[in-house]
Amino acid sequence: MYEQRIVIDLEVRHGKPIIKNTRVPVDIILGSLAGGMRLEEVAEEYGVEKGDVLAAIEYATRIVAKEEINALYA
């Protein structure tokens, strides 16, 4: 579960979600994946474990799943 690998600490990176025991923000992990890097490449590039990268994906999935969409009509 992502809760064991993703933390939010107001003293680190202005409270952005990061990989636990690192200063690697979740958004950097996700951006690297979106940019075409493979999961293993991201883990190696940022010195994190494969499970940390998967936790970042799970975290983002849960955030997006909670979003509410409000259509704006002109």
Assigned domain for 72 exists: no
Give tens-digit pLDDT for 16-64: 999 999 999 999 999 999 999 999 999 999 999 999 999 999 999 999 9
Cβ-Cβ contacts under 8 Å for 53 (sequence gap 6 or more): 29, 33, 39, 42, 43
- CA-to-CA dists, residue 22 to 8, 33, 68, angstroms: 11, 18, 31
Supply the pTM of this predicted model: 0.86
| Number of domains present in the structure of the chain | 1
Q: Which range of residues forms the domain containing residue 14?
A: 2-65
Question: What CATH number is given to the structural domain containing 43?
Answer: 1.10.10.10
DSSP string, 24-47: -BHHHHHHHHHTT--HHHHHHHHT
* Bridge-based pairing state of the strands 17-19 and 6-8: antiparallel
- If you search the block for the tokens 């909670």, which residue do you land on? 66
